[in-house]
C-alpha cells in the first residue's frame, strides 16, 4: 500500500469510527428518550431550584447568628408520650425534633427540597424512581453511623407500624426500596400513578436508628416517654410529665456546618411549659414563666397587653408579616353520623354560626373569615368555574355534586351584627323542614321516627367557650337539641381518634404544592383510619380530583386543579370555616432577634432566630424573669 492509499485508508477508518460512535450516541439518546438521568443537590416540583449546589447559606438567615441561650414557649394541656408516630398517648410538643430526613425544605420557596442527610439525588425525568446518595458523615446522636440500612429500616417500620393513614398512602406510592451501597438507597414507585411529588415524599420520611430499636427492643407502636434515637440538632434534656419538656442542642451534631444549616438551630435550649388553659398560660407569660408567645386570642391582644413588663419595655409586642395561607381552622362535622348524611342538615348548622357578630363582639374586628381550603392564596376557587376548571369538571360529570358547573363556588353566609341573624334562621329552618326535621310542640326538631336532632360540640379549650356558647344558643333557636360538652385534651384525643363526636374544632393545613397528603385529609381510603380526615369524607369525585392535582405537570395546571378541588370540597359543607389573620401577632421578652427580612412562609422562631446575650443579661438583672 502506497502512502496516498494509506492516508486515504486512515481517513476512512476514522470516519467510520466516528460514525459508529455517533450512531451509538444517537441510539443511546433515543433509548433514554425523555428519561435521561438527572443528578442534583435537590428537587423542585415545578421549575428550577432557587439555590445552586454551591450555595453558602439560605438567603433569609443570619450566617453569623450567635449560638446560645434558651427559648421558652408554651403548650396546651398535657402529654404522656414522647413518640409522635403512634396513635397511642398524647405526644409532647416538638417531639419529632429528634428526627431528620434525606431532604429538607426551605421557608422562601414553594415545592423545593434540598439534600440534608442526602448529599445528592438521581432520578429520571419521569420521576419513576429516585436514588439518594447519602452523606457518609451523618450520624445519630449516640454517635452511631447513619446508613442506608437505617433508611430502609425506617421505611419498613413506618410501613408496618406507622399511623394507619400514612401506611395507606405510602403503600400505594412506593413499590420497592433497595440498598445499593452503605450510603446509597433507591426508591422505585408504583406504575400508573402520578410521580411528580414522589421523590420529595420519599426523601421526607423520618429516619430512625435501626441499632437503637434492635438493641433496646422498643415497640414502635407503644406510647413511651423515652424518645427514639435520631440524628437531628436537638436531643432531650429532661422532662416533667405533663408540665415541662427541655430540649438541648447536641454539641456533637453532625450537620452543624452544612450550608443548609448555617445560621440555624441557634438556641442551646428549647423549653416548653404546659398550661391547663389559655388564660393561665397568659398569666404565666406575664410573670416570665416563658418568654415567647404567639397570641391567638384577639381579646387578649386588644386589651390584655397592659401588664408591668410591657410598661417597663421588657416585653415587646409585634405584628410580623405572614405569607402563609389560612390554616383551615373550622368546626368539622362528622359525616360518619347518619344525622349528618343530608347536606341540608349540614348547611343549616353552618348558617347558625355568626362570624360577623363574633368578630365584632368577641374578636375586636381583628380577623377575616375563611372561605376556602386554600384561603389567602391564589389557589382559592372564586365565582363560577373558569374554562380550564370546566374541562376538568366536565370529565367528571357523572359523579359531581349538583350545581357545581352552573353555580358560584360555595361561600360562607354573611350574618348581621346581631347574635341571631333572622334571615339565616329562616333559611336554616326551611332546610331542616325540607330534610324532614320538623319542629314539635316542645320546640325541638324531630324526624319521622320522633327522634330529636341532637348535636354535641366538643371543646377542650376554655378560650373557645365564649365562641361556642352563642353558637349553641343559635342552634337551640333553630330547634336543635344542641349541647356544649367540655372535656380535657386527653379525652378529646381519644374521642377524635375513635371518631366519637358530632362536631369538633380542627384544622385543614393545606400546602402551596399539594400532593398525596390530600388523601390523608380527604381520601376515601383513609376516611375510617386517618386522624387527619376528621370529617370522614368519602367521595369518588374528590378522590378523582386528588389524582388530577397529583398529576399536574406545571404550576398553572396545579392551580387550576386545586381550584377545582377546592370548589368541590366546599360544596359538601362538612366544615364551618372559622377565621384567620394574615400577620403573626407575637409578644416576647426583648432579647430575641431575627433577620431583618423574614421569609414569606415561616416566622422561624425555633429555626433561625437568636438571642442577644447583652439584652438578656440586662433584663435578667432588672428582674424581668
200 in any annotated domain: yes
How many domains, in total, are found in the chain? 2
All three cell numbers of 43: 428537587
The predicted structure's pLDDT at residue 500: 97
32 in any annotated domain: no
Please tell me the total number of residues recorded for the chain in this structure.
Answer: 625
Domain boundary among 188, 216, 244: 216
Among 165, 141, 140, 142, which Cα is nearest to 153's?
140
| Domain interval for residue 120 | 39-61+96-216
Q: What are phi and psi of 211, to 5 degrees?
A: -60, -40
371 in any annotated domain: yes
82 in any annotated domain: no
Domain boundary among 216, 246, 279: 216
Task: Write the CA distances from 241 to 74, 92, 238, 246, 273, integer angstroms.
Answer: 14, 9, 10, 11, 11
606 in any annotated domain: no
- Which residue's entry shows cell 361556642? 468
The predicted structure's pLDDT at residue 24: 35
Q: Three-state DSSP class for 481?
A: strand
CA distance 197 to 200: 6
Q: Three-state DSSP class for 34?
A: coil
User: Do 407 and 553 have their domain in common?
Assistant: yes
Neighbouring C-beta atoms of residue 102, cutoff 10 Å: 28
Residues in the chain with pLDDT values less than 70 = 1-35
- CATH, residue 199: 3.40.190.10
The predicted structure's pLDDT at residue 412: 94
CA distance 421 to 354: 8
The predicted structure's pLDDT at residue 143: 97
Per-residue burial over 129-143, b if 16 or more Cβ lie within 10 Å, else e, is bbbbbbbeebbbbee
CA distance 117 to 207: 9
All three cell numbers of 12: 476512512
- CATH, residue 418: 3.10.105.10
Task: Write the CA distances from 404 to 379, 408, 568, integer angstroms.
Answer: 17, 8, 7
Q: Three-state DSSP class for 464?
A: helix
253 in any annotated domain: no
All three cell numbers of 319: 405584628
Neighbouring C-beta atoms of residue 443, cutoff 10 Å: 11
The predicted structure's pLDDT at residue 35: 61
Burial class (CB in 10 A: 0-12, 13-18, 19+), 303: exposed
According to DSSP, the β-strands at 445-446 and 368-369 are: unpaired
The pTM assigned to this predicted structure is: 0.84
All three cell numbers of 512: 402551596
Residue pair 522/537 in contact (Cβ under 8 Å)? The answer is yes
Residue pair 347/573 in contact (Cβ under 8 Å)? The answer is yes
Domain boundary among 216, 231, 246: 216
According to DSSP, the β-strands at 244-249 and 234-240 are: antiparallel
The predicted structure's pLDDT at residue 164: 79
Beta strands in 211-277 (DSSP E): 234-240, 244-249, 269-275
The sheet with strand 575-577 has its strands ordered as 481-486, 454-459, 503-506, 330-333, 575-577
Among 497, 579, 139, 589, which Cα is nearest to 326's?
579
83 in any annotated domain: no
422 in any annotated domain: yes
Radius of gyration over every alpha carbon of the chain, rounded to an integer in angstroms: 28
The one-character DSSP state at 313 is: T
548 φψ region: left (φ > 0), alpha (ψ -120 to 50), beta (else) = alpha
Q: Three-state DSSP class for 95?
A: coil
Residue pair 468/499 in contact (Cβ under 8 Å)? The answer is no
All three cell numbers of 328: 383551615
According to DSSP, the β-strands at 481-486 and 454-459 are: parallel
**Residue ranges of the alpha helices (H) in 99-248?**
148-161, 164-173, 198-203, 210-216
The predicted structure's pLDDT at residue 61: 98
The sheet with strand 292-294 has its strands ordered as 292-294, 583-589, 315-321
Amino acid at each position: 500500500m502506497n502512502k496516498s492509499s494509506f492516508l486515504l485508508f486512515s481517513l476512512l477508518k476514522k470516519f467510520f469510527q466516528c460514525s459508529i460512535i455517533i450512531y451509538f450516541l444517537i441510539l443511546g439518546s433515543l433509548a433514554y428518550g425523555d428519561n435521561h438521568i438527572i443528578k442534583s443537590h435537590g428537587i423542585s416540583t415545578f421549575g428550577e431550584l432557587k439555590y445552586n449546589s454551591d450555595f453558602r447559606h439560605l438567603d433569609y438567615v443570619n450566617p453569623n447568628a450567635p449560638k446560645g441561650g434558651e427559648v421558652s414557649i408554651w403548650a396546651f394541656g398535657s402529654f404522656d408520650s414522647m413518640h409522635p408516630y403512634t396513635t397511642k398517648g398524647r405526644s409532647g410538643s416538638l417531639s419529632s425534633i429528634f428526627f431528620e430526613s434525606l431532604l429538607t425544605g426551605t421557608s422562601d420557596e414553594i415545592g423545593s427540597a434540598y439534600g440534608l442527610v442526602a448529599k445528592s439525588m438521581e432520578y429520571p425525568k419521569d420521576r419513576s424512581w429516585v436514588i439518594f446518595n447519602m452523606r457518609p458523615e451523618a450520624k445519630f446522636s449516640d454517635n452511631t453511623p447513619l446508613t442506608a440500612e437505617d433508611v430502609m429500616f425506617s421505611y419498613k417500620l413506618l410501613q408496618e407500624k406507622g399511623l394507619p393513614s400514612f401506611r395507606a398512602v405510602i403503600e400505594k406510592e412506593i413499590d420497592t426500596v433497595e440498598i445499593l451501597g452503605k450510603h446509597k438507597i433507591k426508591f422505585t414507585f408504583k406504575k400508573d400513578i402520578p410521580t411528580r411529588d414522589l421523590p420529595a415524599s420519599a426523601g421526607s420520611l423520618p429516619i430512625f436508628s435501626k441499632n437503637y430499636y434492635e438493641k433496646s427492643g422498643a415497640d414502635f407502636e407503644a406510647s413511651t416517654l423515652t424518645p427514639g434515637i435520631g440524628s437531628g440538632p436537638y436531643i432531650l434534656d429532661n422532662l416533667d410529665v405533663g408540665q415541662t419538656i427541655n430540649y438541648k442542642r447536641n454539641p456533637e451534631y453532625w450537620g452543624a456546618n452544612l450550608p443548609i444549616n448555617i445560621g440555624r438551630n441557634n438556641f442551646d435550649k428549647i423549653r416548653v411549659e404546659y398550661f391547663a388553659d389559655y388564660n393561665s398560660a397568659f398569666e404565666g407569660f406575664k410573670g416570665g414563666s416563658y418568654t415567647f408567645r404567639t397570641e391567638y386570642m384577639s381579646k387578649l391582644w386588644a386589651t390584655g397587653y397592659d401588664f408591668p413588663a410591657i410598661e417597663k419595655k421588657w416585653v415587646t409586642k409585634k405584628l410580623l408579616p405572614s405569607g402563609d395561607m389560612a390554616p383551615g381552622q373550622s368546626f368539622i362535622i362528622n359525616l360518619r353520623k347518619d344525622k349528618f348524611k343530608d347536606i341540608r342538615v349540614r348547611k343549616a348548622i353552618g348558617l347558625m354560626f355568626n362570624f360577623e357578630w363574633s368578630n365584632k363582639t368577641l374578636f375586636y374586628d381583628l380577623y377575616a373569615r375563611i372561605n376556602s381550603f386554600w384561603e389567602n392564596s391564589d389557589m382559592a376557587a372564586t365565582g363560577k368555574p373558569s374554562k380550564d376548571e370546566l374541562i376538568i369538571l366536565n370529565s367528571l360529570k357523572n359523579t359531581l355534586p349538583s350545581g357545581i358547573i352552573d353555580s358560584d363556588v360555595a361561600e360562607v353566609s354573611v350574618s348581621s351584627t346581631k347574635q341571631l341573624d333572622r334571615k339565616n334562621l329562616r333559611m336554616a329552618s326551611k332546610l331542616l323542614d325540607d330534610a324532614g326535621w320538623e319542629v314539635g310542640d316542645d320546640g325541638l326538631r324531630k324526624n319521622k321516627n320522633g327522634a330529636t336532632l341532637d348535636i354535641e360540640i366538643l371543646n377542650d379549650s376554655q378560650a373557645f367557650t365564649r365562641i361556642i356558647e352563642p353558637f349553641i344558643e343559635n342552634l337551640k333557636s333553630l330547634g336543635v337539641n344542641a349541647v356544649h360538652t367540655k372535656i380535657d385534651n386527653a379525652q378529646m384525643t381519644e374521642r377524635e381518634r375513635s371518631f366519637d363526636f358530632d362536631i369538633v374544632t380542627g384544622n385543614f393545613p393545606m400546602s402551596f404544592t399539594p400532593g398525596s397528603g390530600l388523601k390523608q385529609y380527604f381520601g376515601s381510603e383513609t376516611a375510617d383510619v386517618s386522624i387527619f380526615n376528621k370529617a370522614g369524607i368519602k367521595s369518588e369525585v374528590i378522590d378523582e380530583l386528588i389524582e388530577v392535582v397529583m398529576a399536574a405537570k406545571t404550576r398553572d395546571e396545579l392551580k387550576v386543579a386545586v381550584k377545582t378541588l377546592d370548589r368541590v370540597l366546599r360544596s359538601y359543607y362538612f366544615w364551618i370555616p372559622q377565621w384567620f389573620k394574615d400577620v403573626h401577632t407575637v409578644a416576647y421578652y426583648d432579647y430575641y432577634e431575627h433577620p431583618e427580612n423574614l421569609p414569606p412562609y415561616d416566622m422561624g422562631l425555633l429555626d433561625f432566630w437568636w438571642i442577644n446575650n447583652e439584652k438578656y443579661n440586662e433584663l435578667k438583672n432588672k428582674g424581668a424573669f
